[in-house]
Structure 1
């Protein structure tokens, strides 16, 4: 991890990105994203999850694909510009609730049987990643799952790398840790790890 303790990227960073380009990471059109979303959904071993929390839903492209497997899906993002698109995309999906929220400073009060952290963890400082991890573990029901999916090449602006994020959570699966590691995949430009609360 970066020794000079970089700061978490602020909501304004994302607002500027979305104001400049309505789909800045090509979530809607990229073959890379399409393949990654398919791998993300295929990695989930259950056909149905009653309470799901998606951190960093952005435009809601993955949210809409995940929704049919959810009883209730709380999808959050820091950028209102992104959420406006997510709300429109998921308008016909009554199980989806979309909220502006800055995790870990803000966090929902309910518990979950699935938390999805996809392409978000490397935006946090090491301290905020640690705080978020504590809150995720506390919010997961016993047997609840945490799915991590992150781009692995380093990005100059980002406080952490995808590998930093996954290594931090995997350290919590060692003997006596609160999580266990169910499965992992490493692709050319991203990795995926599925953890479960003991």
Structure 2
């Protein structure tokens, strides 16, 4: 896994603040048929119908958060930018089991333990070093038998330190025995991939 020489560092919160200042829904999360279908595939891939505790890293406007919440007794959703987080709070105001926090993962990480951790469209924003830090903290926070759900756009983006494939292959390398993870399922679509792993 090699960093992009033009952008080897994790993208800072100011990057996302600028993106959301220019456009309230810069990736068309709320209106895109592609995103709608990807969210449906993401939720359908959950190995369990109910999780006592879950953690979503990079919740953005909360579109996926709202769908995940139906399967969670408690869901912590975080993002690095305040503007989309406020929109997510409004969207999920009717869901008392959802808690939102402004948080820059992996420099910041919640102390709780989780049965499900979702890393959707966020891992490629991290440098290789931060991806390793995130992996270590995610595995420490995932309960035995807990699930890690990865979903990422796969084509390279010049601004991003990594590709979606970099992120998934890095986590999949942890499934080689006696690694801490087991690969339960994976699928690749035209422009994104999805993998589900289980803490051994």
TM above 0.5: yes
Task: Confirm whether residue 2 of structure 1 aligns to residue 2 of structure 2.
Answer: yes
Q: Residue 173 of structure 2 corresponds to which residue in structure 1? A: 171
Could you tell me how far 1:180 is from its partner in structure 2?
0.4
Could you tell me how far 1:136 is from its partner in structure 2?
0.4
C-alpha separation between the residues in 2 aligned to 1:84 and 1:78? 11
C-alpha separation between the residues in 1 aligned to 2:169 and 2:121? 15
C-alpha separation between the residues in 1 aligned to 2:67 and 2:135? 25
C-alpha separation between the residues in 1 aligned to 2:111 and 2:154? 31
C-alpha separation between the residues in 1 aligned to 2:87 and 2:23? 12
Match of 1:107 among 105, 109, 114: 109
Q: How many equivalent residue pairs?
A: 198
Match of 1:76 among 72, 75, 78: 78
Q: Residue 141 of structure 1 corresponds to which residue in structure 2? A: 143
Task: Confirm whether residue 86 of structure 1 aligns to residue 88 of structure 2.
Answer: yes
Question: Structure 1, residues 102-151: CA drift from partner, whole Å, max 9, x if none?
Answer: 00000000100000000000000000000000000010000000000000
Question: Structure 1, residues 39-92: CA drift from partner, whole Å, max 9, x if none?
Answer: 000000211000000000000000001111101000000000110100100111
Q: Residue 20 of structure 2 corresponds to which residue in structure 1? A: 18
What stretches of structure 1 move > 2 A for 4+ residues in a row? 1-5
C-alpha separation between the residues in 2 aligned to 1:156 and 1:149? 19
Q: Residue 65 of structure 2 corresponds to which residue in structure 1? A: 63
Match of 2:54 among 52, 55, 65: 52
SS at match of 1:105: coil
SS at match of 1:92: coil
What TM-score results when the alignment is normalised by the length of structure 2? 0.98
Q: Residue 117 of structure 1 corresponds to which residue in structure 2? A: 119
Task: Confirm whether residue 36 of structure 1 aligns to residue 38 of structure 2.
Answer: yes
SS at match of 1:74: strand
C-alpha separation between the residues in 1 aligned to 2:175 and 2:49? 24
Q: Residue 131 of structure 2 corresponds to which residue in structure 1? A: 129
What TM-score results when the alignment is normalised by the length of structure 1? 0.99
Q: Which runs of 5+ in 2 are unaligned?
A: none
Could you tell me how far 1:2 is from its partner in structure 2?
2.7
C-alpha RMSD over aligned residues: 0.8
Q: Which runs of 5+ in 1 are unaligned?
A: none
